[in-house]
Structure 1
Amino acid sequence: MVKSNNASHMTKTAGKSTDESLLLTIEDLKVYYDTVSGVSKAVDSVSLRIKRGEILGIAGESGCGKSTLTTALLRLTQRPGYIAGGAIHFYPQEKGPIDLLTVSGEQLRAIRWRNLSYLPQGSMNSLNPVLRIADQFCDAILEHSQMSRREALNIVSDLLQQVGLEPHVARMYPHELSGGMKQRVTIAMAIALRPDLVIADEPTTALDVHNQRIIIQMLSELRDKLRMTIILVTHDMAVHAELADRIAVMYAGTLVEVGDVRQIFKAPKHPYTQGLINSIPQIGGQRVRMEGIRGNTPSPRNWPAGCRFHTRCTHVMPECREKVPQLLTIANEQDAQSKQPTLVACHLYTQFGAGGTHDN
């Protein structure tokens, strides 16, 4: 059965959320790039809402717009990229509602690190190679808080211990640390001022399996201990299965499925989500040949008409080539047992469901 659902799946009144559990709302966000061959629509009309205390996973192949989306949330999009439309509303506990796309640069600087922090892709390489770890902590803390240098130095040891590192690491240089240790240092820096929201872009990439497990457990424990919210960006569905509460699956700059992590792994609805999950190697059970998703992600300079996945989909129908599917709430018996509704953009459900409408 298909229920009606508005485009952003959120309630808003003059920029103020009527749901106190909401921390961040994204409405019809568009991020484009000017190129010599035309406009590249990297993120195209994405709407999401993130609740306090949850870990929201953003999944999808390389080139689907995951990192572009997260950098736009922090207004770090660089030319030739630009935010072409939409709104991002942030509701930190210490402050009133903040429109992240219209707030001044000075106000945005005050929000970063204290209320909103970022673990960039390849964050292990973001450490300054000529400064000791303690000095790098102090630089960040002093820039975004009223602490004195002595106060900042006093909390460095505690921050390192929270991520499983010994206090003496504060006196070391980045080149003296392993990859896993450097990743934990960047996580400790991101939580130094106990932000409301941490955006982690591929936090386990380039780490071995052992260190990946450590980082996953650490992020989960920090969320519970500090009551912070995490947006986790990774193409690794196994990491999402271990860490995320909900998953938003992106394809070709748009959302194709959003739902509870257990529901999505138990019964994925969109053919693209099914392909991502089926590509995960299984331990035990019946031995079957793994089948990848055929074809490649299309270019953001020329997305296909209709459903953008139809060129790779095994369930393609005539309307898939012509009509853009809307992100609708799908209700069934399995969803009734889930804590979160599942949203899917696929003609399979409007074709075989009960009809339904879409309110703009």
Structure 2
Amino acid sequence: MKAVPKPRTPAPERVPETPGTQPKAAALIVGGAACLSMSAVFVKLADVNAGTAAFLRCAVALLALVPMLVYETRRRGAMPAALHRNAILAGVFLGADYVMWTLSILDIGAAVSTVLINVQVIVFPLLARVWDGTRVTRRFLLACPLMLMGITLAGGVTGSGEQAAHPVRGALLGVGAGTAYAVYLYLIRRCGRSSPRHVVTPVCVSTAAATVSSGVISLLTTGLPLAVPAASWGWIVALALLGQVAAWLLISKGGPLLPPNTAAALLLLQPVMAIAFALLILRETPTVTQLGGCALVIAAVWTSNRAPRTKPAVRPA
């Protein structure tokens, strides 16, 4: 009697990495960075406590994400349990990122904190290299100093001259925020690569975890006053829908289709676009140094991700 062969366990889904998908994925990342870049403007216009802004940003976003999660689960089934754990852990780091970055702004100012949080451009590809063995291109490594220099100039660090209230604590918080940001990007990317059918689920689960973690951290640090003026709610809703829902759905969709160093570099466009939105909405005029920094960031990002030229094949005589 022949033994019945055991059914094979299906291999995990993988995102196809074809050249045709990369321009679309890059456009999604840039769109997500544009939504994130408007967050600072919305927080400033809302004029609420830092911890309150971080908590409500995630809590209000769940009102839109939960129905989308139910719809996605009905159509495509539930995401594997192991990926739920990754998404929860990612959300814990995201909530910590939101609070630490806001606290670093109070300690060392918005310019320096904006520079420090962008250490993600190094930490994110490094995590993928250590844990997944993803190769980092030499062109990207050479462009990293130029990217960080451009962010420094765009943030107005060199011309601010302001005395930081708590420089050491603020610097540690800024670097911690950038590291937590990179961990979030890495874990969400792993969810997207392992189950590309699920885009909403990891964002929704991580946002729920970020709501809890940001609320707990805020209670222990800045406080969490929820008596928000009626005039501020419109900006908070805009912050939640654009800076949380739209931003992370776009990044989570495009991120798995690109190498980590490419996604990290494209996200550096966020502070550059924040300056543009501040000019258009808040009428904040950037300095010549800041504009030069923006140009340097754009040039470095383009250079680091430019495909190498291939020599045409020579036909034999």
The two structures have a TM-score, normalised by structure 2, of 0.23
Q: Which has the higher strand share?
A: 1
The two structures have a TM-score, normalised by structure 1, of 0.21
Q: Which has the higher contact order (CA 8 A, sep 6+)?
A: 2
